[in-house]
Chains A and B, each alone.
Chain A
């Protein structure tokens, strides 16, 4: 979360990728860092070792698409702010 917050403060589009069991940690640490609304993408709790390589790939693709959506929405908000 330190990296995420630091990148955001430097104006670089950023998202913290967080496994669901660590959501509370991520949100509390972001708040401690002075950015409680830091961009965080929570991906669902799972056991990747028990998934097939194809399913892991599919999950990664889904997360990647969500990352792109969030970055694009950040860009739109920045554009409106200007």
Chain B
């Protein structure tokens, strides 16, 4: 197989590590050598031409060919069977709805969250239990999340101090992936890819442009469901990151989801109850500022700005509140995560691969 990329010769692994830093091939964490053998194995696995272009990645305007994606996946430590997931994630990020240019460059410094759901979770051995967002030794979680970062770094050149202008950045930029619990692993609710138009038997990647990551104690099971919803609402409507009519993601632990489920709440009922509750009065929102009033979602376009009691919606439709069930057992404080979007919205794509 003929590869187009330039070949670099290094003396040994140590020399490669120093070369990677010197050449700027990494954001600071170590990377694996993308040897011709490793990259060829990936390309052989997916049976796609190395020069096939998936798209152009902003702001560096780099061509995301199958070969370049495979090289970065190899640098991240991916196995060949992970490549269909990585390619699908890149395709999702290139959907205009995701607003990749802003994810890479805006001062808000969001991180692209990879959400994996469907049969692929078990087939590739993703962790969807304890430590769902953290390094737990599960290779697909860590290396696929890392591959996305390296692709945006090396092909898209989204590097702070150069073309990225993140004021603070997001720790998830190093590696940010969560896998949803499948139905047979205590997830009582419709999976996220099903909510977004796919079948349960499909495997999917959903890319979410994450601006925040907040762990919250919802107290599900230790308080009334009404109070649980009040806590979720309070977190989602925090003034510090209140963006009217924008998308949010809740990652609910399986125990909490089952408490609601057993009380007769399916995912839609839970979601719609929160959608209705997540508002704040104009008098509060007036304390915030700085967001461009030219944005279509700016709160001044949604309510009467002269009515201090008018309620500004945090979200306006079902697509604005996405829900994933993941994580381990939770005590009565019932840890969950709330993640707010930044500029763009989540894009879900079916992974066209069966791993048979």
Question: CB distance B61 to A25 under 8 Å?
Answer: no
Whether, in the assembled complex, B163 has its beta carbon less than 8 Å from a beta carbon of chain A, the answer is yes
Whether, in the assembled complex, B105 has its beta carbon less than 8 Å from a beta carbon of chain A, the answer is yes
B104: min CB distance to chain A, Å:
9
User: Which residues of chain A are near B261, meaning CB under 8 Å?
Assistant: none
User: Which residues of chain B are near A24, meaning CB under 8 Å?
Assistant: 162-163
User: Which residues of chain A are near B59, meaning CB under 8 Å?
Assistant: 1, 25, 28-29, 32
Chain B residues numbered 149-174 whose CB sits less than 8 Å from any CB in chain A = 157, 162-165
Contact flags (1/0) for B191-221 with A, using CB distance below 8 Å?
0000000000000000000000000000000
CA of A2 to CA of B96, assembled, Å? 14
Partner of B58, one of A21, A29, A49: A29
Whether, in the assembled complex, A7 has its beta carbon less than 8 Å from a beta carbon of chain B, the answer is no
A69: min CB distance to chain B, Å:
24
Q: How many residues of A contact B (CB 8 A)?
A: 11
Whether, in the assembled complex, B240 has its beta carbon less than 8 Å from a beta carbon of chain A, the answer is no
Chain B residues numbered 52-69 whose CB sits less than 8 Å from any CB in chain A = 58-62
User: Which residues of chain B are near A29, meaning CB under 8 Å?
Assistant: 58-61, 163
Smallest CB gap from A32: residue in B: B61
Whether, in the assembled complex, B264 has its beta carbon less than 8 Å from a beta carbon of chain A, the answer is no
CA of A49 to CA of B59, assembled, Å? 27
CA of A21 to CA of B166, assembled, Å? 11
B contact set with A: CB distance below 8 Å:
58-62, 105, 107, 157, 162-165, 289-290
A-B contact pairs, 7 of them (CB 8 A): A22-B165, A28-B157, A28-B162, A29-B163, A32-B61, A32-B157, A49-B289
The 4 closest A-B pairs by CB, nearest first: A32-B61, A29-B59, A25-B163, A28-B163
15 more CB-based (< 8 A) A-B contacts, given A29-B61, A49-B289: A1-B59, A2-B61, A22-B105, A22-B165, A25-B162, A25-B163, A25-B164, A25-B165, A28-B60, A28-B157, A28-B163, A29-B58, A29-B59, A29-B60, A32-B60
